[in-house]
């Protein structure tokens, strides 16, 4: 790792001032489980690291009447063991449990999970691809088993986060602090496709900090599930994952939010599948139809078409489980 | 840039000067000669570098030494009491849970954190807890047996 200076601000205000002063040459550090790997790989070489671990307010878990407030620095481990998250926000607890290994979940934070950089092996290797400022995407003609099958191009990364699909299924929003104050954005507006900007994955500017994630309490009777397919049961990122929030009343699907991970550059909302089921009785034929519609428009690369069937199978499993079929 | 840090390692108080880009793993192995903690992948993928940071298993290869300021670290060197091995160390020997030994320090610390938290875990709980520690030799069965033996005491 190249040399850098290390700073541990004690308040958000101090952290923001440090970021502004560094003028793009600093990086935020939360648990460091993604950042330090990226720095060892040489894909990031910040002159300064601004570590947020000592800012007390950022690590709070605070439920109120209609939503859950999670500080960006809450660890993934805490999310998996917190009783009210397990009970009312089960999709998130399940997704956090699927991240990396126990050691990584002890250090890794929720904010870091949303802001982590992609895992494309060309990008993490020594290839100067589009994302690193070069002029081509090596995955298009190269080894693309783990790349995007839908909404890819010009870069074909998949978004690596397990918690992002879960939070999107619950319609979460994020609080962002910057030099001009705070703003709140729907998580749906947080991620950025390579078409918008190939060098980044979200809307955060270099002088902004993600401070809080807010999750509305799912309505009475809603159920959720997060399913992840991976090669090894530990460490591996999702080949495909499914976050589903479903509300069935009197056999009719009242509400459905279906978000897919591991298959597109940003978490993918399968709205076409949702449309098939919304307002209808949940029946096997419709479930099959929803699975077929979920990825319509997909354009797999040479070695990743297996993700289509895999994703459909996960969606089916999720729908069958939540509808007790 | 060099930082002065104070921390506790295996119950002892240390005051050290460290470079910002030094990992906790490098600090332990290179500066303090605590080479019981192993360096495998260096990227969070194997668990050989596992130490306890405020009683929680973490990958020392992905923690900066400066981040450990004011914290309490336990490495494998901190487990035995003089000549008497920690019950987990003894159980690993008794059950043949050590072959090449490379995973053992990290594995035992992970197991210690589990048992400190929950003295009576089930077998699936043990397997989940050690999922972040790769062993290339034993096939895990004897490791799980050794941990179960200590748990049931
Ligand atoms: C072997 C291995 C396996 C892994 N497996 C998985 C997996 O299966 N699923 C998964 O989702 N992840 C996985 N990860 C990635 C990572 O461990 C997690 O995503 C973790 O949650 C990252 O959190 P962190 O706090 O360590 O982030 P950091 O490493 O501290 O930060 C990650 C990035 O986000 C930025 N950042 C962090 N917090 C903020 C903030 N509050 N505001 C603005 N920017 C911020 C940092 O600048 C950095 O660029 C894995 C990592 C490794 C090394
Ligand atoms: S998929 Fe994106 S990150 Fe990977 S080689 Fe192509 S441009 Fe680079
Ligand atoms: S050396 Fe740290 S996880 Fe492998
Ligand atoms: S004993 Fe050799 S790796 Fe576990």
How many residue pairs from chains A and B have C-beta atoms closer than 8 A? 77
**CATH 3.30.390.50 corresponds to the domain A223-323:** yes
Domain boundaries, chain B: 2-78, 87-150
| Nearest atom in ligand 2 to A138's CA | 5
Q: Which of B93, B136, B146 to mutate to test the pocket of ligand 4 (most atoms within 8 A of CB)?
A: B136
CATH no., domain A58-116+158-216: 3.30.465.10
Q: What average pLDDT does this structure show over A139-152?
A: 98
Indicate if ligand 4 lies below 6 Å from the C-beta of B133.
no
Q: If pLDDT is split at 50, 70 and 90, which confidence band does B152 have?
A: confident
Mean per-residue pLDDT of chain B: 97
Q: How far is the CA of B140 from the centre of ligand 4 (A)?
A: 9
3-class DSSP string for chain A: CCCCEEECCCCHHHHHHHHHHHCCCEEEECCCCCHHHHHHCCCCCCCEEEECCCCHHHHCEEECCCEEEEECCCEHHHHHHCHHHHHHCHHHHHHHHCCCCHHHHHHCEHHHHHHCCCCCHHHHCCCCCHHHCCCCCCCCCCCCCCCCCCCCCCCCCCCCCCHHHHHHHCCCEEEEEECCEEEEEEHHHCECCCCCCCCCCECCCCCCEEEEEEEECCCCCCEEEEEEECCCCCCCCCCEEEEEEEEEECCEEEEEEEEEECCCCCCEECHHHHHHHCCCECCHHHHHHHHHHHCCCCCCCCCCCHHHHHHHHHHHHHHHHHCCC
Does residue A282 have a pLDDT over 80?
A: yes
Does residue B2 have a pLDDT over 80?
A: yes
Q: What was the pLDDT predicted at B153?
A: 76
Cβ-defined contact of B59 to A5 (cutoff 8 Å): no
Domain boundaries, chain A: 1-51, 58-116+158-216, 223-323
**What is the value of pTM for the model shown?**
0.98
Cβ-defined contact of A5 to B67 (cutoff 8 Å): no
Does residue A325 have a pLDDT over 80?
A: no
Superfamily of domain B87-150: [2Fe-2S]-binding domain (1.10.150.120)
Q: What average pLDDT does this structure show over A233-248?
A: 96
Give the chain A residue nearest B129 (alpha carbons): A102
Fold equal for B2-78 and B87-150:
no
Q: If pLDDT is split at 50, 70 and 90, which confidence band does A247 have?
A: very high
**CATH 3.10.20.30 corresponds to the domain B2-78:** yes
Q: If pLDDT is split at 50, 70 and 90, which confidence band does A324 have?
A: confident
Q: How far is the CA of A108 from the centre of ligand 4 (A)?
A: 26
Determine the topology of domain A1-51 in CATH.
3.30.43
Q: What average pLDDT does this structure show over B136-142?
A: 97
Q: What average pLDDT does this structure show over A82-96?
A: 95
Q: If pLDDT is split at 50, 70 and 90, which confidence band does B1 have?
A: confident
Q: How far is the CA of A202 from the centre of ligand 1 (A)?
A: 14
Q: What was the pLDDT predicted at A233?
A: 86
Does residue B53 have a pLDDT over 80?
A: yes
pLDDT tens, B9-40? Answer: 999 999 999 999 999 999 999 999 999 999 99
Please enumerate residues of A whose Cβ is less than 8 A from a Cβ of B: 1-6, 32-33, 36-37, 40, 49, 51, 53, 77, 100-104, 106-107, 233-235
- Please state whether the peptide bond connecting residue A118 to the residue before it is cis, i.e. omega within 30 degrees of 0: no
């Amino acid at each position: 790792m190249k040399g850098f200076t290390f700073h541990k601000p004690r308040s958000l205000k101090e952290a923001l001032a440090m970021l502004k002063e560094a003028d793009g040459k600093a990086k935020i550090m939360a648990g460091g489980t993604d950042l330090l790997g990226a720095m060892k790989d040489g894909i990031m070489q910040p002159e300064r690291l601004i570590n947020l671990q000592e800012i007390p307010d950022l690590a709070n878990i605070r439920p109120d009447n209609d939503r859950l407030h999670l500080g960006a620095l809450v660890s993934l481990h805490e999310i998996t063991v917190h009783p009210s998250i397990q009970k009312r926000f089960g999709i998130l607890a399940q997704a956090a449990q699927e991240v990396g290994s126990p050691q990584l979940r002890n250090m890794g934070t929720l904010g870091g999970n949303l802001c982590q950089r992609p895992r494309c092996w060309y990008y993490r290797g020594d290839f100067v691809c589009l994302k690193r400022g070069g002029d081509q995407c090596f995955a298009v003609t190269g080894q693309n088993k783990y790349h995007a099958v839908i909404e890819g191009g010009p870069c074909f990364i998949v978004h690596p986060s397990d918690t992002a699909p879960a939070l999107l299924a619950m319609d979460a929003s994020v609080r962002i602090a910057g030099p001009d104050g705070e703003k709140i954005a729907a998580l749906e507006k947080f991620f950025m496709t390579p078409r918008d900007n190939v060098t980044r994955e979200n809307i955060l500017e270099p002088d902004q900090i993600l401070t809080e994630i807010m999750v509305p309490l799912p309505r009475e009777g809603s159920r959720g599930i997060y399913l992840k397919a991976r090669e090894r049961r530990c460490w591996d990122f999702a080949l495909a994952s499914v976050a589903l929030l479903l509300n069935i009343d009197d056999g009719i699907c009242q509400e459905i939010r279906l978000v897919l991970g591991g298959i597109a550059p940003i978490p993918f909302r399968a709205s076409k599948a949702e449309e098939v089921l919304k307002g209808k009785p949940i029946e096997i034929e419709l479930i099959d139809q929803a699975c077929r519609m979920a990825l319509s428009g997909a354009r797999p690369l040479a070695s990743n078409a297996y993700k289509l069937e895999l994703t459909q199978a996960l969606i089916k499993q999720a729908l069958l489980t939540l509808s007790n079929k | 840039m060099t930082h002065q840090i104070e921390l506790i390692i295996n119950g002892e108080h240390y005051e050290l000067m460290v470079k910002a880009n030094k990992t906790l793993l490098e600090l332990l192995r290179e500066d303090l000669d605590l080479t019981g903690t192993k360096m495998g992948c260096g990227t969070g993928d194997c668990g050989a570098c596992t130490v306890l940071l405020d009683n929680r298993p973490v990958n020392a290869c992905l923690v900066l030494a400066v981040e450990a300021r004011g914290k309490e670290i336990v490495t494998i060197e901190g487990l035995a009491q003089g000549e008497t091995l920690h019950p987990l160390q003894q159980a690993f020997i008794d059950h043949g849970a050590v072959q090449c030994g490379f995973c053992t320090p990290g594995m035992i610390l992970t197991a210690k954190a589990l048992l400190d938290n929950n003295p009576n875990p089930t077998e699936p709980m043990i397997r989940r807890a050690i999922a972040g520690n790769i062993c290339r030799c034993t096939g895990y069965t004897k490791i799980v047996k050794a941990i179960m033996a200590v748990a049931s005491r």
